[in-house]
Structure formats: C-alpha cells, structure tokens
Structure 1
Amino acid sequence: MKVKFSLYTLILISALAFLASCSNGYIKSGDREYENLSYSKAISKYEKALNGQPDNLDVKLKLASAHRQLNQSEQAEKYYREVADSIDLPMEDKLNYAQVLMKNNKYDEAKPYLQQYIDANPSDQLARDLLASTTSIKELKEDSLAYMLTPLPLDFTVSMFGPTLYDKGIVFAGETEITSAAATNPWTGYSFLDMFYIEKDGSGNWDIPTKFAPELNGRFHDGPATFNAAQDMIVYTRSAMKNEKKQLLNEKNENQFYLYQSEKVDGKWSDPAELPFNSTSYSVGHPSLSADGKTLYFSSNMPGGYGGSDIYKSSYDGTNWGEPINLGKTINTSGNEVFPYVSKKGKLYFSSQGHQTLGGLDIFMSENRSGIWSAPVNLAYPMNSSQDDFAIAINDNDTTGYISSNRSGVDMIYEYTQVPPTFVVEGIASLKANTLPIDGVVITLINLTDGDSARVTTGKDGKFRFNLLPSKSYVLKGNKEGYFKVSESFQTGNKPEEKTINLKFDIDEIVESDSGTGSGNPADGSGTASKTYDIGEVFYDYDKSEIRTDAKPILDKLVKLLNDNPKINIEIQSHSDSRGSTGYNQGLSNRRAASVLNYLTSKGIAKTRLQSKGFGESQPVNKCVDGVECSDAEHQKNRRTEFIVLRENKL
C-alpha cells in the first residue's frame, strides 16, 4: 500500500507541476499580448493560466485590467473584487476599480476606494470629480419620460458609434467580424474601424449598412467623420501611419490618430490630406464642423491642455486652418473631454469623464454667450447612463437625433426622440401625522396608456417631479419599507392651462398590533399598546348599522389602501358614544364594525385579511363618559371607526 500511495502521490505532484509549468507559460504569453494591447488575446491566455493557478492574484488583477480596457465592466469588477477581498489593492487599481464600480451602478461601493486614492493623491482632480459625482447621482438618474431611445440594429457591424448626418441617413464608425488575420485589430479581436453609411427604407426600417467611400478607408482605423453643409467636404479621424504598413504608436504603445480632409469633385472624393496640426507627439480626432463650415471642433491630448484629452477649435477660411485654440477650463477638466458636436443652433455638445457624471463618459451641453462658454449641463438619464455615452448628432428638427453608448455592453447607436415636457406632476411625500417630509420614498410613475414607467427616490425635502405627456392615463405610487404604500391615478388633458398637477402623498407608518388582537388604546391606560388608524367620519343613521351612501367614499379609501398594501391584515374597530346602555352600545358597535367588513369584502378584499370588533363606549377619546355633560360635537368624536394592523400576514 505504501508503494501504491507513493506512486499516486508522485503522479499527482507531477501533474500539478505540469499544470503550474503550463500556467507560467500562459502568463508570459498573456503578458506579451497585454503589452501589445492585444487585450482579447491576453484575456484568453490569463484565463488558461488560472486553470493551473486558480489563486494567482496577480493574474486576476491583469484580467481585471484587460477587461476594463475593453469596457467589459462586469467582468472587470469580478476580478477586481476577488483581489480586493484578499489583499489591499495597489493605489492605481483602487481608482480603476472605483470607476468600474461606478459604471456598474455601485456608487456607494466606489466611494471608499476613491477616498483612499484621494488621501494618497490629494492633488488628483479627476478622482475628486469622480467622488463628487457619486453624491449627485440621484439628480442625474431621475428617469425622464421626455426622451425615448431606440437602438439601431447590429445587422452587419459588431459595434457602431460616432454618427454624423449625411444625405438621407448617417455615416458612422463601425467594426465587423474579421475576414483575415491582417485585418484584425489586436485590441478587440475584431476588424479595424471603417466608415459606414446607413439609411431608412420606405417603411421606416433601417437598411443594411454599406461601406462609405471605400477610397477613404485606409488599412487601419477610419472614422468618425464630419461634413460641411454642402456635404462636399469631409474631415475624419484616421490612424496615424509610421509607414505604409505600420501604425504610429506612442510611448505607451497606443495608437496615434490624425485628422484628414477630402473634397468631393465631380462625384469623387479627393485623396485625403493631413490637417496641418497633426503631430507625431499627440493625437487629434473626433472632428465636428460648425454649421457655416468655418470652425472645426476636435479632441486632442496635445501639450498645454488641462489633462487627458481636451476640446479644441480651429478656424477655416476655405483654404487654410488656424492654430488650435483650447476651449478653456469651463469645458475641459483633468479628465478626458472627447467627441465634440456643434448643433445648427451653435450649442456645443461633448462627452466628459471629468465633470460630474453617472459613471464613464457622459454627454454635456454648453452655450457660447458673448465669447464665454456656459457651465456644462449634464443631459442626465436616459441620454446618459452609468456606462460610456458619447457622440451625439441632432437632426434639423432639433427634437430627434442619435447618441452612441456602450450601456448594452457594446458600442451602439441609439436614435432618440425628445418629447417636450408639456405637463408636469410634482408633489411632496410627507408623514400623515405631522406633515413632515419623508426621504427615501420610492415614487414610481406609470404611464398606463403606453406602458412606460419612471422612478425617483425622495430626498430630505420629500419632493418629487415628473414630466408627463398629454392625453395619457397615469398612476403614481409611493413606497417605503415600514410605511403604507400609497397611489394616485390621474389623467392629462390637452389644455395648456392644465400644465402642472400637484399631488401630496400623506404616508402613515405601519405599526403592528403587539398582541394580534384588537385591544385598542383605552383612555384609562389599560390594554395592550398598538396604533389605531382613523378611517374617517363614517356616519350611521340613528340606531342603525347599515353603511350610508355618504360613508362609501370614505370606505373606498380604505379599499384602495388595502389594494395598495396586499400584505397587511387589519382589524376594523367600531366605537360608540356613551349615550345609551353599555350593553346596547356594545352590540351596536359590533354590528357597525361588521357592516364595514362586509362592505370591504363586497369590494373584493379577501375576508381572510379582515377582522371586526366593536368596543361600544369603552374607549372614548375624550371626557364624554357616563355622567359627563357633552355637546353633540364632542360625542361625535367618540363615534368613530378605526383599524389596526395585525401580525398574521407578515410584511
């Protein structure tokens, strides 16, 4: 047995040694691919290495970084988390991990990593801006029904971004499945970027995209582009070339990009020519021509900026380009500002990771007022998301257009339609007992006509606000754990004077009965403490227990409350005044409580959720007991119907 055991042990050790040896080989191979920016290939090698070394934290950190470079934030988070759970992350990786968490909507988790990085790097403005962004998320994420986004189909390309208006459709940059090894972009494993054209058919559906001006597409990356108003001049981004076969790379082994210009003469595009401010020392790209064609806006990481890539402009007189001018610190930050776009109205749109964002790149808008750029405004959700959102293009009608986003996990173009916020609903969620505002109430607006929905969470002021569409039916719901759910239905008309609908949600805290029995709150202090909820003034005819017509609207509110809160059971409690004998009042209150129960069941409330109990004159809310002279109004306060929440149906 000892011989066999030793043999098995030897085989096992040999196998483990072989796996470790293979893993080391995969790690070295993965490192080479990573250094060459072949991130998709590097990931494949590192994953194989983990088969033999599943606890190798260094490999996991490299996997996290490679996935982050490919904008695969969920996969990146997985590996960053595994490393962070075992060791203290290197400082630079804390910043990277925080940005990944923000892209995955995990803003609170990102905060401590950002703070740790700032503590070690107090002068890093980008990290400070990112931390500030985590506190403004609520406002930026408020859903708006005023924009509707529809993705363009990926029928031919595997990704698409950077739309620009051309002819009857758009020209965009896209990549496709590889057709040959020579045409493979090592960064992604797909093709290099080419320019494509797509338009809608007669039925309003998008056609299959075709390559735009193949004579302008080079060996490596081409696009995105911009056109003058006559559409006979194009300026577009293109890979900088070291020679005819090799791209120009910077000291970080990253691609360099140039801007090229071409004119259409007799229906043919001229040979592309470099713009004069291209340089081997930095990149220029993402061009956008103003409506008059006299100013080109673009992004560059040229020296002298504010950090990362900045937005610049260059004047054009029809022949010569002026020296690039940085748009200044109002627009540019220590982070990246990219993909500028100037609308026909002269508004500047651009994407930034340095201004307060939802995570990744967000689209901002600024206006030039007497030569001064206004503070950029975040377009907010749904135009922006926690992922990268960039490269907007606006149609002539100014209410529709296109944006690019990788919110689905891959770069896609979304067609958007802006619906003017003709109608507004606004209000406050407050505590019913004292009208103080309540924070943390989830307010959901549902468009019953179209099926759309929007959601916000109230802050300390309890306020909420939604844009609405005309001629629609809506329901507004309020929900916070430990409180009764509330809802309100309403409709919007077509009259312009009915633009604002004001609602107030009075919300009551749920307090369950300690005993599960309706012992109530007697005036003498006896009994088990529980909270009773006043239904309202339910009037009965003298010496009667039937529900009167004028009491039904009051009870219908209770029906609505029970429908809004299907998990609660209640006990209906009826009380009488002290006039009449004790025994008679007890029986009368029993019958009245039972009448309320029967009314609720007739409205569809399950009887298993209800109990009824009469208390007669035993629990007055004032001094009006036997022998005390009181007015009719004082006696009326004791003739009341209430309910308590029972424990049986656990919330």
Structure 2
Amino acid sequence: MKRTYFFATVLLALFVLGSCSSQKNYRLGNLSYEIGEYYRATEKFRKAYRKDDNLQHKMEMAYQMAEAYRAIGDYGRAAIWYQNAIRRQHPDFKAVLHWADCLRATQKYEEAIEAYQQYLDSFPTDVQAINGLDACRYTQEWEANPTRYVVNAVRELNSRYSDYTPVFVGGRDNEILLTSARENNVGRKESGITGAYFADIYRAEYQVQRQKWGPPQLVDESGLINSPDEEGAVTLSPSGDEMIFTRARYDKQNDKGTELYRVKMSRGNWSEPVKLDLVGDSLIAAHPSLSANGDTLYFVSDKPGGYGGKDIWMATGGGGSFSNPVNLGPKINTPGDEVFPTIRSNGELYFSSNYHMGMGGLDIFKATRNEEGEWRLQNLKAPINSTGDDFGMAFIEGEEVRGLFASNRKGSRSDDIYSFYLPPKVFRVSGEIYDKETGQRMDGARIRIIGTDGTNLRMRADKGQFQMTLNPETEYVFAAFKDGYLNDKGRESTIGLDESQDFRVDLYLTPTDAPIKVDNINYAFGSWELQPQSVYALDSLVGILELNPTITIELMAHTDFVGSEQFNFDLSQKRAQAVVDYLIQKGINPKRLVAKGYGETWPKKVTRKMAQQYDFLKRNDELTEEFIKQLTPEQQEIAKALNRRTEFRVLSTDFYETFSPEVEE
C-alpha cells in the first residue's frame, strides 16, 4: 500500500513538473516570438507542444511555429505547421494564405493552387493571394523557359553557414566584402532569430592565377567593426574608403534593434563606427545601399509611415550624414517585406520582395523610372530567381552585366553566394536569293541592308546566300537586286527583343523577260469595276513599282473566250485602265504606266508552278479555246479562270523621275 502511494506521488509530481515545464516553454516561446527570436521560439514551442495537452495552446503554438519558420525561410517546416494549425481550426484565415505561399515555395504547385483558391473563396480581392495563384502558373513557365542569365554557385566563397550580401570594392571585380556566419567569426554567439552564429563582415580577393576567389578573411578582428553583436549587409562608397554596415545589437540576448553605422578608411585602418540616426530606437534600419555619388542612401526599415512589413526608404545628405528618410512609395513597397536594395550608377534599383508576384520566398526585382518619374518593376525570373529566397545583388561596373547575389535555393547549404552573368544579346540573319519562276537559288545577286541605326551596307550574295550580325533595337530592310529581275525586299526588327535570336530572310526575284501575273485582282462580273478584296493585290503592285523606281510597265488585262471578241477587247481594256487609274491615285507616275487590254487573244501558257498545282496541265501548254474544250467541264472552268488574269510586263528599266521646279509668280 505504501509502495502504491509512493509511485502515485511520483507520477503526480512528474505530471506537475511536466505541466510546469510545458507552461514555462510556452511562455518563453511567446516571449522569444514577440521579440523576433524566431529560431529560439520554435525550440521552446516544440518542447511545450510535446507536453501540453491544452488543445487551444497546441493550435496557437502550431500557428506561431509556422510563422517563425516562415520568417527564417524554412518554408517546408512552415507548411507542415500551418497545415497543423488549419486542421485545428485556427481562427486567423491568413493561415491558409501563408500555407499556400509555403507550398508554392516548396514547389507543391497543385496543392498551393487549391489552398489559394480556398482562401480566395472567402477573400476574392486579396492581392497577395491573386499574385500567388498567378505565380504558381508563371513559375513553371519561367523555370521551363529561363532568361539569358547564367548563374553558378561560387563554391570558394560559401561555407555550411550563411554567406550573403557581397559588395564589390570600388566596383572592381577582384575584391569583395561579404557577410557570413561561418565558424571563425567574432564572439561565437548563436542568433535567437536564425539559430546560426552571429554574422560578421569578411573580405575576399580574386586570385587571378588560380582563377578563383581566395578564402574570406575577417575584415576586422579588433572588435571595432566585427563586434560581439551581429554585423550584416554593407555598402561602400565608389572609392571603397567609406563603409556603411548593419549591426544588430543584443543585451543578454534581447534584441535592441538593427542600426546602421558608418566608418572611413584612413591609411589602411578603419575609423571608429558612427551610428547613423535615421530611425527611432528599437526600429529596424538595415541593408544600406549608397548611390554612385554618395549623397543618397537607400535602406530598409519598419519605421511608421510605411506600407506594412519592411519597406525601402531613401535619405539624402552629404559628408556621411543623412536625414529626412522618404518612403519609396507603393509601386515599390507593399504590405509584405521589401529588402536588400541595390542602387546602380545608371539609376536602376534592385531589391527583393516576398509580396510582389514572384516564384516563392524573396524574389529579386528590377525597378526603373519612366519619364514621369514613376517606378516600373520587372521580376528577374529564373535562373536569377528561384522558389527559395534570392537577394542582395552586387554589380561589377562595366559594359557587361555581371556580379554576385545570395540565395538559399535548392542545392544551397544555407544562404550561399552565386555569380550571375548576362551574355550580350546576339542577333544573326541569314538568307538565300531565289529565282521566283524556277525556284532555283541565284548567283550574282546583290544585297543592300539599311537599318534605323544608320546601317547602310551593300554586299554580293555568294552563291545566292548571305549572312550578317544585327544590332539590338534596330529595324532593318533587306533588298535584293539583279539585272533582268524585279527587286525584292524583306524586313526584320530587333526592337524590344529580350533574347538572342536568329532571323531568316529569303528573297525571291522575278524575271522580267515574261509577263508577271498579279494574283487576286478581281472585277465585278462582266464589268471593269474593281472589287474591294482586290486592294491588297493592287497595293502589292504599288510596292513593286516603288521598290523598282526605274521600270515602266504595261498593265495587261485578259479575258477567256466566252462572249464576242469585241466585247472582250473592250472589257479587258477598261479593266487594265481601272488598275492604272488606281496606281496613279496611289502616287505612281503616269509616265511609267501603259494600259492594254488583250481580250482573249493571248491565252495563258502553263508555267512550272501551274503544272505542279494542276495535274491535268503540263508546262508550256497553251490554254487556247481548242485546248480547253478538250478538257472535262470541271477542268475547263479552271483553265478559263487561269486565262482571266491581270498581268504586267516590264517595258524599260531606265526611267528616272524628274521634277519641274516651281514657278514663282
């Protein structure tokens, strides 16, 4: 009996201790979560969750663990805990939206689409959900059709810890500063936010002989810059002798806010850091980026007056002092987080956002101002962006677009540094010149190429072939010439093209030693009135005459043998004249035009192309009345239609336009 009582007492004590421990961890988890120590919060909540039988507590802890994991970029674990909270009927329906975001970030697109649609059923106008749903569709397309950027992990700069926000010293490609939480940092304290060690600022040089980066070394070991607190993203003046960096200060592991400090280099030594007073205490001031002339500072803050989450702000000043921060506005900033700005010397702003439509997590966006000063945004898509977090662009100054950025995409050990390079757009054109009648490639033709960028080239087509490289943002005209043939031309344009492209321009020269049929010129039955559908063919004839300004032509109209000879002569003459009148109306000099009606007296001779099209005809057959009457009724109608035609033949090739001087009264 005493033994039973003893064991009961022990069990009760253990239960009470477990309950107290659970409540303590739950309380500590809430405290850590409130001050932004998300990693530490997950540890406390997990311990409390295992021992807490209170269903309300479990629901709340599941949601807060999901929020904490999402805050540190662990989207896989976040999705699991959001689903747990939703299953426990968490009252905040945002859990469904965040669950959908995390599913998308882990490439579970079908599940994400269902979750977004579930959320939109209750909140149909929610911009974040609409963007997320669209992103599920676009992301797969962007991954399947990446942009021209070439992206590679820079192995020698990366550790198994977080490495991020590289910046080039002086814009050169041989020296960088970066932020890292690797093993040899100062202080060796663990961050309650991420669970990693506090980060410090490192320096690395590119080793030309080895064609790789050397091992990163602490930029300062004295405690002046790299302190026992946590150092973060940096920016440098154009000369590299001034640095503004981020520092997160802690007092007994309590977050005291994130601040920006400025230091200057003198004779190889950094000065004492000076805090920039940009925001109030306990607010965030982080992720600095200096303009090329050093008088404008872009940074991230959660200060009042923003649009929610973290916003990008701009402060102007000089001599290292900046004041009166201005929010960049709703085109850039959103209810989500906009972070890690980089301002280039050409005015382009690059930043990361988890709210603008992207592939998942933080995506990098390019922002440019139009003539009215309004920002225009562009998602850099894959392979710059991924379903993970992508941030912290750094550019090497020069004509080529290349540099470094950070990402925790699939294949990364943590936040890793990646290189990017945008190969120049290459546009090539190739083509061949053919005899339009025979279909054979021609030798001896000449090409003239005119571009809106001032290009004016003449070349001989070698064996009927030509090729050349085209310039970006240019419209081209390609014209082919050969004696005894009508000229032909084609157009291509590289204006607005984002990707390299090969063009094909084949030109067809029509011989002038035989009449040339103009297809699809139609008249009312038994009349010379031109039908409206003839306009395209007539305008193409105008184009031929404009492209061949030295030719004069005889416009020839023909009929079939139905009706009297005199009627057909008169009808064909009036039809030919109707076409000539149209050409004159379009600006063609009347001296270049002769109208001639032939009635039924000039039957069509079958060409190679016609013989290929109609198996009852052979090349050089003449479609006389006698020949046609030997055909079947159906074949007769085809043959008569071939005889009813409008053609032209070249009379001369030496016409030159002359203009009479105006006579002044």
TM-score scaled by length of structure 1: 0.57
Alignment match, 1:197 = 203
The alpha carbon displacement at 1:375 in A equals 1.5
Alignment match, 1:415 = 419
Q: Cα 1:283–1:39, aligned 2, differ >3 Å: closer, same or farther?
A: closer
1:103–1:387 CA contact under 8 A, matched in 2:
yes
The alpha carbon displacement at 1:22 in A equals 3.1
Residue 413 of structure 1 aligns to which amino acid in structure 2?
Answer: I
Mean CA deviation greater in 45-54 or 213-222: 45-54
2:241 is equivalent to residue 232 of structure 1: yes
| Structure whose alpha-carbon radius of gyration is higher | 2
Alignment match, 1:299 = 300
Alignment match, 1:164 = 167
Give runs of aligned pairs for residues 22-171 of structure 1, distance below 5 A.
22=18, 25-26=21-22, 28-36=24-32, 37-48=36-47, 59-85=61-87, 87=89, 90-117=92-119, 125-144=127-146, 146-153=148-155, 156=159, 158-166=161-169, 168-171=174-177
1:297–1:311 CA contact under 8 A, matched in 2:
yes
The alignment partner of 1:345 has SS state of coil
Counterparts of 1:152 and 1:175 in 2: how far apart (Å)? 16
Counterparts of 1:370 and 1:279 in 2: how far apart (Å)? 35
Counterparts of 2:262 and 2:293 in 1: how far apart (Å)? 17
Which structure 1 segments of 5+ residues have no match? 250-254, 426-495, 503-630, 632-651
2:229–2:248 CA contact under 8 A, matched in 1:
yes
Identity rate of aligned residues, in percent?
30
The alpha carbon displacement at 1:405 in A equals 1.1
CA offsets 1:565-613 (integer angstroms, 9 cap, x no match): xxxxxxxxxxxxxxxxxxxxxxxxxxxxxxxxxxxxxxxxxxxxxxxxx
Q: Cα 1:412–1:278, aligned 2, differ >3 Å: closer, same or farther?
A: same
Mean CA deviation greater in 394-403 or 13-22: 13-22
Counterparts of 1:110 and 1:381 in 2: how far apart (Å)? 20
Counterparts of 1:282 and 1:51 in 2: how far apart (Å)? 34
Give runs of aligned pairs for residues 134-533 of structure 1, distance below 5 A.
134-144=136-146, 146-153=148-155, 156=159, 158-166=161-169, 168-177=174-183, 183-201=189-207, 202-214=209-221, 215-239=224-248, 245=251, 249=255, 256-280=257-281, 282-318=283-319, 320-370=321-371, 372-397=373-398, 398-407=400-409, 408=412, 410-422=414-426, 499-500=502-503
The alignment partner of 1:410 has SS state of coil
The alpha carbon displacement at 1:346 in A equals 2.2
The alpha carbon displacement at 1:246 in A equals 5.8
2:337–2:354 CA contact under 8 A, matched in 1:
yes
2:153–2:417 CA contact under 8 A, matched in 1:
yes
2:339–2:352 CA contact under 8 A, matched in 1:
yes
The alignment partner of 1:367 has SS state of strand
Q: Cα 1:20–1:48, aligned 2, differ >3 Å: closer, same or farther?
A: farther
Alignment match, 2:491 = none
Counterparts of 2:187 and 2:10 in 1: how far apart (Å)? 37
Residue 98 of structure 1 aligns to which amino acid in structure 2?
Answer: A
2:188–2:198 CA contact under 8 A, matched in 1:
no
The alpha carbon displacement at 1:71 in A equals 1.6
2:186–2:226 CA contact under 8 A, matched in 1:
no
CA offsets 1:511-567 (integer angstroms, 9 cap, x no match): xxxxxxxxxxxxxxxxxxxxxxxxxxxxxxxxxxxxxxxxxxxxxxxxxxxxxxxxx
The alpha carbon displacement at 1:365 in A equals 0.8
The alignment partner of 1:236 has SS state of strand
Residue 355 of structure 1 aligns to which amino acid in structure 2?
Answer: H
TM-score scaled by length of structure 2: 0.55
The alpha carbon displacement at 1:114 in A equals 3.8
1:27–1:59 CA contact under 8 A, matched in 2:
no
Counterparts of 2:197 and 2:349 in 1: how far apart (Å)? 31
The alpha carbon displacement at 1:240 in A equals 5.2
Counterparts of 1:11 and 1:32 in 2: how far apart (Å)? 31
The alpha carbon displacement at 1:21 in A equals 5.8
CA offsets 1:34-57 (integer angstroms, 9 cap, x no match): 522444444445445565679955
Residue 368 of structure 1 aligns to which amino acid in structure 2?
Answer: R
2:317–2:323 CA contact under 8 A, matched in 1:
yes
Counterparts of 2:500 and 2:65 in 1: how far apart (Å)? 58
Counterparts of 1:71 and 1:78 in 2: how far apart (Å)? 13
The alpha carbon displacement at 1:106 in A equals 2.5
Residue 417 of structure 1 aligns to which amino acid in structure 2?
Answer: Y
Mean CA deviation greater in 284-293 or 32-41: 32-41
The alignment partner of 1:200 has SS state of strand
Q: Cα 1:76–1:19, aligned 2, differ >3 Å: closer, same or farther?
A: farther
Q: Cα 1:497–1:141, aligned 2, differ >3 Å: closer, same or farther?
A: closer
The alignment partner of 2:405 has SS state of strand
Counterparts of 1:421 and 1:17 in 2: how far apart (Å)? 74
The alpha carbon displacement at 1:146 in A equals 2.2
The alignment partner of 1:216 has SS state of coil
CA offsets 1:439-483 (integer angstroms, 9 cap, x no match): xxxxxxxxxxxxxxxxxxxxxxxxxxxxxxxxxxxxxxxxxxxxx
Count the aligned residue pairs: 420
Counterparts of 1:217 and 1:413 in 2: how far apart (Å)? 20
Q: Cα 1:52–1:311, aligned 2, differ >3 Å: closer, same or farther?
A: closer
1:157–1:174 CA contact under 8 A, matched in 2:
no
Alignment match, 1:531 = none
Which structure 2 segments of 5+ residues have no match? 430-498, 506-631, 633-665
Q: Cα 1:22–1:320, aligned 2, differ >3 Å: closer, same or farther?
A: closer
Counterparts of 1:382 and 1:279 in 2: how far apart (Å)? 38
The alignment partner of 1:136 has SS state of helix
Mean CA deviation greater in 45-54 or 219-228: 45-54
Mean CA deviation greater in 340-349 or 211-220: 211-220
Q: Cα 1:182–1:409, aligned 2, differ >3 Å: closer, same or farther?
A: closer
Q: Cα 1:415–1:12, aligned 2, differ >3 Å: closer, same or farther?
A: farther
Counterparts of 2:203 and 2:367 in 1: how far apart (Å)? 29
Counterparts of 1:156 and 1:409 in 2: how far apart (Å)? 8
Counterparts of 1:368 and 1:420 in 2: how far apart (Å)? 23
Counterparts of 1:385 and 1:409 in 2: how far apart (Å)? 15
Counterparts of 2:123 and 2:184 in 1: how far apart (Å)? 42
1:30–1:41 CA contact under 8 A, matched in 2:
no
The alignment partner of 2:213 has SS state of coil
